[in-house]
Chains A and B, each alone.
Chain A
Amino acid sequence: MAASVTLKSIIDEFNLEEITSFGNTDSITITVADVTRPGLQLTGFFDHFGPDRIQLIGNQEMAYLAHLSEEERLKCLDGLFSKNIPCLIVSRHHDVFKEIVTCSKRYQIPLLRTDESTSTFMSSLIKHLNVDLAPETTLHGVLVEIYGEGVLMLGESGVGKSETAMELVKRGHRLIADDLVEVRRVSDTTLVGQAPEIIRYLIEMRGIGILDVKELYGVSSVKMQESINFVINLELWDEDKIYERLGISEEYTEILGIQVPSITIPVRPGRNLAIILEVAAINFRQKQMGYNAAQALTERLFGNREEV
C-alpha cells in the first residue's frame, strides 16, 4: 500500500499562502518524503531529477533568478514547471517574479509561499511527510506500555490478551490499543503503534462487554501512542513443543520489515500472564542494558568468558 498525502493537507498544516490556485490541491498527491531545492535544475541540468518531489526555492534560487534577463528567467522556469512537479513553494515571503506566476498558470501547478526560512521550513516539511507517508499496517493484538517499554501482545482470539491488558492497567501500566493496533514505520528502526480512533481506550472482555479504560481508571492508565520495543507471542500450551528455558536464544518477529525482539509465551489456565509480561519487560530492559542472567550463569558454571 503506497501512502500519499494531498497537497491541500500540507497547505493547511503549514498555513501556506496560495499565490496561484487552480482548485486542484485536493487531487495533487505527494508520495515521496523528499523535498528538492531546484538550484541545478534552474540552470537546465535535469539528470537524477525527481519530479514527484515538492520543489522549494529560497534566497539562493531567487538571487540566481534575479540576475537573469526576463527571457532567460521564463525559459529556465518553464523547464522546471514542464516536468509536472506537484507544486513550487517560495520561502521567506519573497516577492515572486511574474515569470513564475506565468509558468504556474501555464501548467496549472500551484505556487505557494511561506514566511519561514528555507532550511527550517524544509526540515519541518520533511519530518511531517515522513510521518504521514510512513508504511502502515494494522495488526490484531494488544499494545501496552510496561515500565516504559512498548510491548505488543500477539495471539489468537480468546487466548487472554485483553484480560492481561486489564490486569496490567490495574498494576499501574498503560493501555495504548486493544484488539487492533495501527502500526507505522516512522524510521528504519522505529515502529509506532496506536489505536484506531473509533475504539481508542476501549477493551472488550468476554462476559462483561465493552469497557472504557480511560473513563474507568483515568488518564494515567492510557497512552495515545507508543513505540513497539518488544513483541510477546501468546499461544496455547502445546505439550509437544519445547519452550525456552534459559533465555539465551534470540527470537525476532518481523513487522513492516523491522525485526523486533520477541518471545513466545505458552498460555495455560492459572498462569498469571500479567506478572509474566512484567517480568519479560524488565528482563528485556536489563538485556538492552547489557546484562543477561543466563549468560552470567554460564560464565559462573564454566569459568571465565566461555561462550555457549
Chain B
Amino acid sequence: MKVKTIQFKCDESLHMKSIAILIKKASVFESRIWLTQGSRKANAKSLLGVMSLGIEDGATIEVSAEGSDEAEAVDTIAAYLSNPTVE
C-alpha cells in the first residue's frame, strides 16, 4: 500500500475533461487506486466515483494504491492531479 497526499489544481473549464483523462491514466495500472477527500473515498478508475467527490480547485486529495505497480500508479496519478493539463 502506497499513499501520497497532494493539492489538486484545476481550471474549472477543464474539470470534466481532466477527470476523464485521470480515469484513463488510472485504468492502465493493475493496482487498485483510491482517491480520498475528507471522509469520502472513490475508486480512481471509476468516472462517476471520482465525479461524486466534487473535487474543487485547491482541494487536498490523498492518493493511495495497492497492487503490483502501486508505486508507479501513485506517482503518476499524484503528478497529474497536482498539474492537470489536457493533452
Interface residues of A (CB under 8 A from B): 1, 136, 138, 140, 156-158, 178-180, 195-196, 198-199, 202-204, 210
CA distance A157 to B46 in the complex (A): 7
Given A1-B39, A138-B40, also A179-B49 (CB < 8 A): yes
Interface residues of B (CB under 8 A from A): 27, 32, 39-43, 45-49, 51-52, 54
Q: Within 8 Å CB of A136, what residues of B?
A: 39
Q: Within 8 Å CB of A158, what residues of B?
A: 27, 45
When C-beta atoms are compared, the residue in chain B nearest to A195 turns out to be B52
When C-beta atoms are compared, the residue in chain A nearest to B48 turns out to be A179
Main secondary structure of the interface of B (DSSP, over half): mixed
When C-beta atoms are compared, the residue in chain B nearest to A198 turns out to be B52
13 intermolecular pairs with C-beta atoms under 8 Å apart: A136-B39, A138-B40, A138-B42, A140-B43, A140-B49, A157-B27, A158-B45, A179-B47, A180-B49, A198-B51, A198-B54, A199-B48, A210-B47
When C-beta atoms are compared, the residue in chain A nearest to B41 turns out to be A138
Contacts across chains A and B counted by CB atoms under 8 Å: 46
Contacts beyond the supplied A136-B39, A203-B48: 15 A-B pairs with Cβ under 8 Å: A140-B42, A140-B46, A156-B32, A157-B27, A157-B45, A179-B43, A179-B48, A180-B43, A180-B46, A180-B52, A195-B52, A196-B52, A199-B49, A204-B48, A210-B47
CA distance A180 to B41 in the complex (A): 9
Main secondary structure of the interface of A (DSSP, over half): mixed
Distance to closest chain A CB from B10 (angstroms): 16
CA distance A159 to B73 in the complex (A): 20
CA distance A140 to B46 in the complex (A): 9
CA distance A280 to B71 in the complex (A): 39
CA distance A210 to B46 in the complex (A): 12
When C-beta atoms are compared, the residue in chain A nearest to B52 turns out to be A196
Q: Within 8 Å CB of B45, what residues of A?
A: 157-158
CA distance A140 to B32 in the complex (A): 11
Q: Within 8 Å CB of A1, what residues of B?
A: 39
